[in-house]
Structure 1
């Protein structure tokens, strides 16, 4: 049962934080004005304060101080003698610049408000420091039992003793945020890992940096190495805030992440005498100021990283996505730079016979010394394709067995213009799933007429979604599912959830020639500020290497062909 205000006054008179009656004479007179509400009474047992809009006086111990101009403009206090209702929080944020320090016992008068979902006292008309106190962090474990949410801990000092894994770093450079999760990284519910969206949401927590500053001068978790998704920490400690639609842990102790997801210097060995890769380039454009680089300097940085990635793959055939659709200009520029690095004539490209009218198209590069095109390149003029596929049959230089690479980039999940069956159906597959299913059907038909087909590319569909399952039903089996462990089977991270958008699907006749497959995790796990852009990325983080050369990880397949 909650303590009443009268009972609280009795406790205060006795010296809540261990102060004796004789100490009262030494306190400022304002410290003799008792609280009229417990913090738990201000917080209430729901999302909003039951006394919102009223001026209240509460007592607590300062647990975190974020008063600097580049921080949150206030501090957190917590009642050291909590009530017995687990639904009510014992902590609250005070919006005030009056100087306090962690461990101060304070009496605060202020108006109870809901600010963007956070219960706080704002403005605080009086902050009286009345001694010292101590609050131990509450030990919390994700997911909370019984389906409870974090509202019961809003404003409180918490400690998460369990292992929590970084599962999203998209806003690390811009806002100093990283999302962590219990039980390892989060996977997309439609990627076949047995997860649900509700289960994922219960396991995740956003760790903030105690600041609302954009593009901070010092990005957290970059020393002695830059944080990667998959790295993990124990004992995260801080106060729980709320803002921008999410609960946020504002650390009171430096979080330290162990390097539990080391950078892979090279892709895993896949064997075979012919290697085929799929790689989304993230808008390789030679035209500046379009979807790719804005300046010549950015373009050079982007090209350097792409070449490093392609040389690291060392594939004999590479299907590329998101290459500017400007004839041979963009793909030719990429091949020219590859040949500068690898030797003249090492790579060539296949001219797309029908690249479509989209700003980007798929491309295909290969090593003439390793494979030879057999016949002309093909495509499809079916209007179902926004970006028509590129189909080319090859023969290995040292053998006669043909194989056909079918390069794809299916319609994205974005909802712009989606209507009818293309609208989001609420099944987790996003918009335009019906279009992607139709595209998959058309690709299945092309594969059925091709010698030893290998369907590769960014299908914009996760492993357990309808388009991939339709292709599987057409006899095109996932080689990453066959050779890559479930925890490593992802090529993209969206909203903190990993999944496999980039695929390598082999027909039955070719599958027996496959010696291995891997996903080279050089991009999806890397923070955004490591890429080629210069607008906000601190220059000291750029490296002329393969890491964060794109936002998709490349896929690599080995073939043994005679």
Structure 2
């Protein structure tokens, strides 16, 4: 697959940080990222004039789901010069996903005690600039100069204010009334300036007790609305005009609450809009892993720091309140602002940097969503589902433009880079959604707030979801049965199949092979994992996984297939870590013969050889073999599997099974700069070049007589540079998906677009054939895999001109029911 099942983006604001309006690269991180324990808060103004807390403090956070012992660890503090470090010993452990509080020196002022500390020291910390290190040893740091972040045993380091002893860049300087808090979901990028924001001090201990300095006497808890309104924060562009600034007592009515996960928070909206239609009146208030103590209809005042959350590289940002949040609840049960009907322009977006251009909501779909960011909206009309409901996350996609590239089965076909289907809209049901398939109907009346997340881009977080009426979509079956000499070949991505998967998954996949695909003669399978799945340990063999699948096919009434594959080197072929996915041939020995030739292994390149120097007869140096496996084109990616088959007497056929690298890292369709960068494409083009060159060698050495089938999960579209390279612009191989009508060219559904990632390509020497995509998975909530298989039939009696009727490629589609 395209590694898009791993696409599960973190929910909004879960990695909240201040992002510049441009995507300028920052200096390289100073040290390895901490995967378990990080410094989560630093405060040095304790007991100073105007301070609420009596003591300085340092807070740690456990990022894991298990307790972490800190026995023998220390926290260490140095002044901005960072020459002499003072240590505080730690003991005990940090609870799973919990905090750990270290109390330091006290001053003469302050009125609030910290929660009961988990460790106590006497270090007087600076209220403005300094360095704090978490060290997994007891000795004091010395001699590391300004490079203490990379010193031995330093797990995490924070330099704040005017210090050069930092991870990449310094965190903001502090005052007597402000503390550092690690942003969002406690993300650690090894850049102090990105990872930390300053705001009202708040401390939490291992028992989960939290004390907020905003609650102390003499601090701003006065329930008087501040002068800053939500539309002032949102401004009339994509980036807040006051990003990075702290705001106090911003007023609004709570319109939605997210109370689960690590990206909790609430949306609020100002019921009194200003006169500017480009300024949103809604805003997300991010509380991290803390459940907000508010309810829909509450009138609240929110204090925090204006941030721009960019969920992934290249994405747009979500304007929100982040950092330490203080919320004052005034009243409950207030009327909610009237939701605006969603109205998306026919044009998806403009080109260039969106953040540098004015908003034009009447002309561009993305601009309409941006000016309503955080606001209540409604999908007033009945709509059609263009993706199956993801019941785990309550996600579904609908189309507000039903005539936009409709597929015959109810989806929206992705037909070119220039036409991403502007009518698509993602809804995420905060209260869950029932299973439903593509083509089902969502009744009008869904209401929610406009959010922005990673792959999905703009999304309506629904507080009320319309009723879903299931359509009549059915899985397809290949008909009629093949004739005696025909050869059927299938490509099928079975989505990380391993021996530890349930018998039910095996049974579903086997039923598809036997019933839906009609017992094909050859199957090229992608994503077969090793015998222990994602449990690492050096296992690379997949014989148990393959044997279990063959047995399931037999139990479903299919033939006893034989298999051929090559085990990869451990951890070199990408996919789920530890899984060692690879391509595998299954073949029915009663219908076809696999020509075994020894010598194929993970590192040896298969070559094309002539049987005799003066003949056009060719063979593989090894069968099965891998195409140039040591080429950099295959770094962290699957290497093509090549096999030689014989069928219909003694006809020779070369089959190349592929799984090109995923689209991971590509910018989303809603990217901040348009058109989106396709950063992963370069490697696929390199991979396509390797395969094209091998096919060209087969053709050249055979005198253009070799029959070749190239198939698999190419992870790219029929109109992509990858396919143009692989097929030599159609001169070397024929792209069979293009034989179908434009709105039927799909085998995968992502972001509401029905698209093609899987392909079957054939050489011109294959004269008669039939072909089709068999839709059994991608459009259904209940899936055995996230890909639909494709089938090719090479038809007998089709080797000469004039071609008989059944061999003519004018109507090549396999009949399906």
Residue by residue over 1:302-325, the C-alpha shift from the partner in whole angstroms, topping out at 9 and shown as x without a partner, is 432321221121133122223457
Which string of whole-angstrom CA distances, capped at 9 and with x for unpartnered residues, describes residues 370-424 of structure 1? x3438667545652582331121211xxxx69462513114424789xxxxxxx9
> Do the aligned residues in 2 keep the contact of 1:491 with 1:502 (CA within 8 Å)?
yes
Question: What residue number does 2:362 align with?
Answer: 145
Question: Match for 2:495 among 282, 288, 295?
Answer: 282
1:520 equivalent in structure 2: 774
Matching residue of 1:492 = 748
Among 385, 394, 418, the alignment partner of 1:176 is 394
Contact 1:436 1:467 in 2 (8 A): yes
Q: Which moved more, 1:298-307 or 1:401-410?
A: 401-410
Task: Map 1:336-351; keep pairs closer than 5 Å.
Answer: 336-342=551-557, 346-349=559-562, 351=564
Residue of structure 2 equivalent to 1:504: 760
Counterpart of 1:119 in structure 2 is 320
Deviation at 1:489, TM superposition (A): 1.7
Q: Is the 8 A contact 2:583 2:659 kept in 1?
A: no
Which residue does 2:447 correspond to in 1? 237
Q: Which residue of 1 aligns with 2:436?
A: 227
Aligned residues of 2:492 and 2:788 also touching (Cα < 8 A): yes
Q: Does 1:434 align with 2:645?
A: no
Does the alignment pair 1:373 with 2:593? Answer: yes
| SS, match of residue 309 in structure 1 | helix
Counterparts of 2:265 and 2:593, CA distance in 1: 67
CA contact (8 A) 1:406 1:455 kept: yes
C-alpha displacement at 1:426, in angstroms? 4.6
Separation in structure 1 between the aligned mates of residue 225 and residue 594 of structure 2, nearest angstrom: 88
Equivalent-residue separation in structure 1 for 2:481 and 2:718 (angstroms) = 21
Q: Is the 8 A contact 1:362 1:390 kept in 2?
A: no
Structure 2 counterpart of 1:319, from 523, 531, 535: 523
Deviation at 1:329, TM superposition (A): 5.7
Deviations 1:461-515 (A, max 9, x none): 4312345334253443233321x3333322234566543232222333433x22x
Q: CA separation in 1, counterparts of 2:663 and 2:295?
A: 48
Alignment of 1:470-485 (within 5 A): 470-471=726-727, 473-482=730-739, 484-485=740-741
Match of 1:195 in 2: 417
Q: Does 1:87 align with 2:278?
A: yes
Give yes or no for contact 1:270–1:557 (8 Å, CA) kept in 2: no
Which residue of structure 1 lines up, in the alignment, with residue 585 of structure 2? Answer: 364
> Does residue 155 of structure 1 match 2:374?
yes
Cα deviation, 1:47-91, whole Å, max 9, x if unaligned, reads 226384121453x555x2427677986654434442221110123
Change (3 A) 1:350 1:242: closer
Residues 9-52 of structure 1, C-alpha deviation per residue, up to 9 Å, x if partnerless? xxxxxxxxxxxxxxxxxxxxx99967745432343223226384
| Alpha-carbon distance change, 119 to 492 in structure 1, aligned in 2, over 3 angstroms | same
Q: CA deviation at 1:158?
A: 0.6
Contact 2:476–2:774 (Cα < 8 Å) also in 1: no
Length-normalised TM-score, structure 1: 0.68
Matched, 1:309 2:529: no
What is the alpha-carbon distance in structure 1 between the residues aligned to residue 439 and residue 230 of structure 2?
A: 37
Q: 1:376 to 1:82 in 2, by over 3 A?
A: same
Asked if 2 retains the 8 angstrom alpha-carbon contact of 1:277 and 1:315, the reply is no
Q: Structure 1 residues 165 and 559, CA, compared in 2 at 3 Å: closer, same or farther?
A: same
The alpha carbon displacement at 1:264 in A equals: 1.3
Q: CA deviation at 1:154?
A: 1.9
Question: Structure 1 residue 436: deviation in Å?
Answer: 2.1
| TM-score, normalised via structure 2 length | 0.49
Cα contact 2:300–2:327 (8 A) shared by 1: no
Q: 1:124: how far off?
A: 4.8
Tell me if the contact between 2:397 and 2:426 (Cα under 8 Å) persists in the aligned partners.
yes
Aligned-CA RMSD value: 4.4
Q: Unmatched 5+ residue regions in structure 2?
A: 1-220, 310-317, 349-360, 407-412, 531-539, 574-579, 598-619, 632-638, 666-675, 798-817
- Residues 1:445 and 1:499: Cα distance change in structure 2 (over 3 Å): farther
- Partner of 1:41, secondary structure, is helix
Deviates more, 1:309-318 or 1:299-308: 299-308
1:269 Cα deviation after fit: 5.5
Residue 252 (structure 1) aligned to one of 446, 463, 468: 463
Unaligned 5+ segments in structure 1 are 1-29, 212-219, 285-291, 417-423, 531-546
After superposition, the Cα gap between the structure-2 partners of 1:498 and 1:112, relative to the gap in structure 1 and judged at 3 Å, is same
Cα distance per residue 1:508-551 (max 9 Å; x no partner): 3433x22x322122233345xx5xxxxxxxxxxxxxxxx42x33
* Greater relative contact order (Cα < 8 A, sep 6+): 1
Counterparts in 2 of 1:503 and 1:109: CA distance versus 1, 3 Å: closer
| CA distance in structure 2 between the aligned counterparts of 1:407 and 1:155, rounded to whole angstroms | 49
Task: Call closer, same or farther: CA 1:38–1:462 in 2, change over 3 Å.
Answer: closer
Q: In the aligned structure 2, how far is the partner of 1:83 from the partner of 1:560?
A: 69
CA separation of 1:551/1:79 partners in 2, compared to 1, >3 Å: closer, same or farther?
closer
Distance 1:123 1:163 in 2: 38
Take 2:337 and 2:414, find their aligned partners in 1: how far apart are those partners?
43
Residue pair 1:408, 1:459 contacting (<8 A) in 2 also = no
Q: Which moved more, 1:304-313 or 1:108-117?
A: 108-117
